[in-house]
Structures are given as C-alpha cells and as structure tokens.
Chain A
Amino acid sequence: MSIELGSEAPFFELPGVDGYDHSLDEYGDATLLILVQSCNHCPYVLAWEDRLMTVTRDHAFEGVRVVAINSNDVSRYPEDSFEQMKVRAEKRGFPFDYLFDEDQSLAHALGAEHTPEVFLFDEKRQLRYHGAIDDSRDESAVTQNYLRDAIEALLSGDEPLVTETPAVGCTVKWK
C-alpha cells in the first residue's frame, strides 16, 4: 500500500551511481522532488525512460529534481545490480540521480509496488501526485501527461487536476 497523498517524503540516504551518497536533505532546495521507483531490467521502465529524461531536463531550470531508485532484489535480478546501474546510467546519460536501495527500505517506506512508479513531492515535501508518468507505454498513444501536468500545476501554484493514477509496469522485486 503506497503512502497517501499529503504524506511527507520519507528520509533516505542511499548510494548513487555517481559514487556519492544522496539523502533527502540534499534535495532541500528543490522546488519539487520526484522520486521514481525504477530499475534496469523492466521493459516498462525502458519504454518510459526517454520521457522521464525529457521531463527531468525540461524542468531542471525551475529547480525540479528527479531521483530514480532501484530497490530490486539483485540476487534474483542481477541486471539490476549496482554495477549494472552504473553501466546503464553511463550509457544513457541519465540527467537524474540513480540510487541503489539495497535494503529496500525506501521502497517499503514509499509503499512502492511497480516500476516505474512516480511520487511527486511539493516544496514542503508532501506527496501531491502518485502513479504513472503518462497514460501509455507507447509514446505515440499518449493522451494524458500526468506527471508533466502535475509539475506544471504545482509550479504555477495550482492543484494538480489528476493526483493519483495506476502505475503500470513490473512489480518491485522484493527479497
């Protein structure tokens, strides 16, 4: 069961593929903080990856920070190992931090269930949107840009029209 709208962002301090540890506090100056449950091996993550990179770049100058988190059990899904995360981030040139949640504590704290699954927190770090990036894994069939619309609403001081959608994708691979 995922955290409810209005919930505070859970604390975390996790290693990133850039060789540094990253904590919730580090993103304190972000206007919005977007945590995305992610991984390497899931085709749904890969299908949405370019769009997540684009959203990240488009809103970076407004202080919006995107953080991808991989919590999968690497003993059963070795493609999701920390080393493979580094390889993928380097290969794709991720514009967002990519953190390894080895003990799955952040995934549990968020109540994440799928990859990809988005948790958008406002400047007070309260959850304002949760769910899918948009309404189709096939970019050419997208009609609703849930995440982008929620970001733009919050940056404009408005309420997002859509606050929760089902996250479609692979399941988080629990230990």
Chain B
Amino acid sequence: MIELFYWQGCPSHPEAKSLIEQILAELGRDDEIVMTEVTSDQEAERLRFPGSPTIRVDGRDVDPVGASARPALTCRIYHLPDGRVSPIPSREQLEAALK
C-alpha cells in the first residue's frame, strides 16, 4: 500500500504525488495512492508525521532517516543524492521504495 500524508500548508504534495504516479506508470503499475490530510499537531503526533509530504510504502517511510524527525505541521526536508535540499523525495528514493 502506498500512503501519502500531507499538510495543506505546504505546496509540495501534488508534485510528490505526480512523481509517484510517473514512476508507477514506468513500472507498469496502477497502485492506488492513499491520500491522508494531516490537519493538527495532535494528528501529526498520532500519525508520526514529520512533515509534508510523508510517503510510506507498506508502512515503511521512503526516507527512513527523516522519518524520525519531530512530528509537526511543516514542510519536510529531503536530501537529494547530490546533497541539495528538496521539499520532496528524490526519484531514486521513490523508485527504490516502490520496486
């Protein structure tokens, strides 16, 4: 199961969803992406949501390192293979998680 947790205060989740869909299409799959909006600090705590977007495949975060950050309604920071910062996971991270 592919889950995408997001917070409306951060604009990155549509781009993340689009990238997942693109990778799934390349893999010849049509898995559903279960979208869950996180709307409060309490929900962020309960869902262990370290920021938007948070993507889990079969319950496992696509970026295990960042998954342990403090739960918060915030934009999540990802690090690209070249060291740059990004508001969404890298294609490589998503491909590795989805394969």
Contact = CB atoms under 8 A, between A and B. Distances in A.
Interface in B4-27: 9-12
B9 A47 contact: no
B49 to A, nearest CB: 14
Interface stretch (B29-37, B55-63, B81-89): B81-89
A76 B84 CA distance: 26
A70 B85 CA distance: 19
Contact of B72 (A77, A139, A168): A77
Contacts of A139: 84
A129 to B, nearest CB: 21
Contact of A42 (B72, B75, B84): B75
Contacts, number: 38
Contacts of B75: 41-44, 170
Q: For the complex, would chain B's binding face be called helix, strand, loop or mixed by DSSP majority?
A: loop
B58 to A, nearest CB: 25
Contacts of B87: 43-44, 47, 137
Contacts of B76: 43
Contacts of B73: 76
B74 interface: yes
Interface in A124-175: 137-139, 168-171
B10 A170 contact: yes
A76 B10 contact: no
B74 A46 contact: no
Contact of B11 (A41, A77, A168): A168
Interface string A46-59: 11000000000000
A45 to B, nearest CB: 9
Contacts of A47: 84-87
22 contacts: A41-B77, A42-B74, A43-B12, A43-B76, A43-B78, A43-B86, A44-B75, A47-B86, A47-B87, A76-B41, A76-B72, A76-B73, A77-B74, A137-B87, A138-B86, A139-B84, A168-B11, A169-B11, A170-B10, A170-B74, A170-B75, A171-B10
